[in-house]
Amino acid sequence: MSLPVERELRPGCRFCGSPLRHTFVDLGTQPLCQRHVKPEELSQMEPFYPLVAYVCEDCFLVQLEAIVPPDELFRDDYAYFSSYSDSWLAHAQRYCDAMIPRLGLGSGGRVVELASNDGYLLQYFLKQGLEVLGIEPSANVAAEAERRGVPSLVRFFGRETARFVRDRVGHADLLVGNNVLAHVPDLNDFVAGTKILLAERGVLTMEFPHLMRLVEENQFDTIYHEHYSYLSFGTVERIFARHGLTLFDVEELPTHGGSLRIYGRHAESLHEPVRGRVAALREREQAAGMQRLEYYQRFGERVAATKRKLLRFLSDARDAGKRVVGYGAPGKGNTLLNYCGIRTDFLDFTVDRSPHKQGNYLPGTRIPILAPERIREVRPDYVLILPWNLRDEIARQMDDVRGWGGRFVVPIPEVRVLD
């Protein structure tokens, strides 16, 4: 059977190059989820791009086609500042407190972070007297890091940047990359760069959302154009191995709906033995079916069913005269709202703590983003929490909502009113 022409034209898997013939989920066409619309832009058009995830039949990397150029995605007005989430800052501090003794990092040790954002993590290493360097492609968040004393190089990371830093600054004793691996268009160039920059006895750690959790918990809204790859442990292990790096440990974390933190070292450097958790997780993924196509091909229908349930809930609430607003303006919220076609007909507005977002509108749906105080003025019946991974933190910050009889609602894994 011959394939349709457009499928033959599609570039291959971004890791192994095999043709991409199998759809994981089709979320329609969507605007870029971090590109908030400013008031003066309301009468202008927004570009929409297809948002379709494929699964590679050979390495099972779930991925988007790189149809949006990276400099279009990560422009200077990139809206995400890591430090606006209390729980993420606490996570960063705990990481720093654990890694310094674990790796025996003393003064003079060098910590390099890839996609260092506003310095949310490196600030803690800096306070402990370590040498730090952030590498961050967005100039405005990097400028914020510089203001906190975190030196930041405004660049994309890959082999070229790795050689540049190695030659001018030196190797990294600890190389960190949190929530960056999935955002890299050229995965092989990025991982090859970590091989170049890592010191002989250095350790790298990377955190990324775990594909197994995405599938099990129906987190389809974490799919967006900025997020090119959706990673299982087995596939990531193969990618690092191809570039001469061994993953010697892995932890499962609750962040971003369920993430992995992998620990890597040079394959030829044996200072860290491979822990039992590595084989255990690899085997759990295999037992779940992650080395078979059927595992991936069932996902799309579950996503469509989730959309129908959420729309049914919102329609019923609106028909009953209830007032519904949103909380948060995260990237994932925009995938959900655009895929479901939820606009101000269902959600009056949403709110966000970040002053960089307030006063703007969500991309595509044009839902206004206001300050959190507006919820207290309006006293809605339902508050739909878009960053559902932070639902406990948000419900605590906004606990007075329950005082007037309001309820919190989460959309994922499926729509549910919280007690």
Catalog residues that contact Zn ion under the rule CB under 5 A: 13, 15-16, 18, 56, 58-59, 61
Structure tokens at 222: 């974490």
User: First-to-last CA distance in the chain?
Assistant: 53
Minimal distance, residue 58 CB to Zn ion, in Å: 5
Peptide bond into 4 cis (omega under 30): no
**22/402 with CB nearer Zn ion:** 22
CA 189 to each of CA 234, 265, 296: distance values in angstroms, whole numbers, following the listed order? 19, 17, 26
Q: Nearest-5° angle of CA 361, CA 367, CA 369?
A: 55
Q: Per the structure block, which two tokens stand in for 411? A: 């959309």
Cβ-based nearer residue to Zn ion, 60 or 408: 60
Closest CB to Zn ion among residues 291, 397: 291
Name the amino acid, one letter, at 131.
Answer: E
Q: Shortest approach of Zn ion to residue 181 CB, angstroms?
A: 15
Tell me the residue type at 317.
A
Of all helices (H) and strands (E), which one includes residue 374? helix 373-378
Q: How far is CA 304 from the centre of its chain?
A: 22
Please tell me the distance from the alpha carbon of residue 253 to that of residue 261, in angstroms, as a whole number: 7
Q: How far apart are CA 109 and CA 111, in angstroms?
A: 7
Q: Is the CB of residue 389 less than 8 Å from the CB of residue 87?
A: no
DSSP 231: B
Q: Which amino acid is at 55?
A: V
User: What DSSP state is assigned to residue 34?
Assistant: T
**Beta carbons within 8 Å of 206's beta carbon, 6+ residues apart:** 176, 177, 178, 180, 181, 261, 262, 264
Q: Shortest Cβ distance from residue 237 to Zn ion (Å)? A: 14
CB-wise, 56 or 126, nearer to Zn ion? 56
Residue 173: CB minimum distance to Zn ion, A: 32
CB of 229 to Zn ion, least distance (A): 10
**Three-class DSSP category at 25:** strand
Q: Are 279 and 300 in contact (CB under 8 A)?
A: no
Q: Smaller CB distance to Zn ion: residue 58 or 399?
A: 58
Taking the least distance from each CB to Zn ion, the nearer of 11 and 106 is: 11
Q: Which is nearer to Zn ion, 18 or 344 (CB)?
A: 18
Residue number, 60 or 313, with CB nearest to Zn ion: 60
* Crossing angle of helices 187-197 and 233-242, rounded to 10°: 60
The nearer residue to Zn ion, 59 or 182, going by C-beta atoms, is: 59
